[in-house]
Structure 1
Amino acid sequence: MRAFSLILRDPTHVVRRDDVISFVGADSSGSFGILAGHERFLTSLRLGLARFRTSADDGVTYLALASGLLSFRDNTATVCTQHFFLDRDRDRISEALEGKIKREEADLREMHALAHNLEREMLRRLWELGRTRPREGL
């Protein structure tokens, strides 16, 4: 079976496999598969698991991601995402993705609280400046 290249990119690292024989992912229209020689293709991957097979072994490797962009061109599939996990164990990779999403949600809640507190403090100080400033024309 013919192979194609798969490049996985996030802000901290890049993984390249040149022996991929199939890739299965999901976008807003549902699941899709890619084989070597596929036409040019671009889609937004949704939260969840994708999987691929290589010519080196008979097993499936799972790719967990929160979301990402997948392009296929010149027999190369490229996935760009904020972060991804690779594992051959579906349950373990699902737990890793779930944990990462929970941590990011907690970080986002904390950032919103900090932004709210900063806004409140700025408004309080502006109000105080307005009260202490001498009025013009008096």
Structure 2
Amino acid sequence: DWYYLAFPGGILYFLNNNLYISSRRFLCDSDYQRISTGLMQQLLTEEESLREIKESLSHLEQEMFRRLWQMQRSGIHL
């Protein structure tokens, strides 16, 4: 029986005819379609998380510029 192994962002190497795999997470299944679906779901989840982080950073940056502008208008020098 075949088993499929997926490890996004992992490292695979051979040393002295031994296979080494280093990964934070992996998927192992005999059904290729399930692994493919699992990988796609992980990718979508990570993309959504990254989008939320970028949005949060953008709001933080806007607020910092707004406060600096207010300080400048009030005559406060840094």
- The alignment's TM-score, normalised by the length of structure 1, stands at 0.51
Structure 1 residue aligned with 2:44: 102
Alignment: residue pair count? 77
Q: Which consecutive aligned stretches of 4+ in structure 1 deviate over 4 angstroms post-superposition?
A: none
Structure 2: 5+ residue stretches without partners: none
**1:71-102 per-position Cα deviation (integer Å, ceiling 9, x unaligned):** 11123211223421111111111111110111
Shift in Å, 1:134: 5.3
Higher relative contact order (CA 8 A, sep 6+): 2
Report the TM-score when normalising by structure 2: 0.84
What is the CA-CA distance between 1:67 and the residue it aligns to?
3.1
Decide whether aligned partners of structure 1 residues 115 and 75 sit closer, same or farther in structure 2, where only a CA change above 3 A counts.
Answer: same
User: Relative to total residues, which structure has the larger helix share, 1 or 2?
Assistant: 2
**Is there any run of 5+ residues in structure 1 with no aligned partner, and where?**
1-58
Higher strand share: 1
Distance of 1:71 and 1:61 partners within structure 2? 19
